[in-house]
Amino acid sequence: MSPAQVFAAALLVLLLAGCQSAPVQHVRKLFTDDHATQDLAAGIGKYEEGNQREAARLLRSSLDYGTLSTADQLEARKHLAFIYCTSGRRSQCQDEFRKALRLDPSFTLAANEAGHPMWGPVFRTVKSASQMEARAEPGR
């Protein structure tokens, strides 16, 4: 697609933003999916560069679109938890791990991540509490 075509399509989406028809929703989803995954990738890149403030902003933005796959949501939440733990925001770190475990109760960290002294113990505590809650719920 040429830049002019992308611009025209984006303009059309903006003009039809209030329209709830299935075709318009599909076009809108195509654009937000792309932005969500771009923000996720950029956020992880900023995290790896050590720019935690910008990483957190982009990771939250990627989640705000509401279109990421479960696997991508888990990546975003995991990295947000890491950022919060390393910046001393333990309750926010715990919240991100809880959200990840609600998405996928089998979610776990890689061995090198699980051994980290700042977020490893937090994750193990949250995971253990999540498992105890699951066992306590009837029907599970």
pTM here? 0.75
pLDDT along the chain (140 residues), means of 10: 51 49 48 82 98 98 96 98 98 98 97 96 97 78
- What pLDDT is attached to residue 33? 54
The residue among 104, 103, 99 whose CA lies nearest residue 84 is 99
- What pLDDT is attached to residue 133? 87
Residue pair 76/84 in contact (Cβ under 8 Å)? The answer is no
Write the CB contacts of 46 (distance below 8 Å, at least 6 apart in sequence): 52, 54, 55, 58
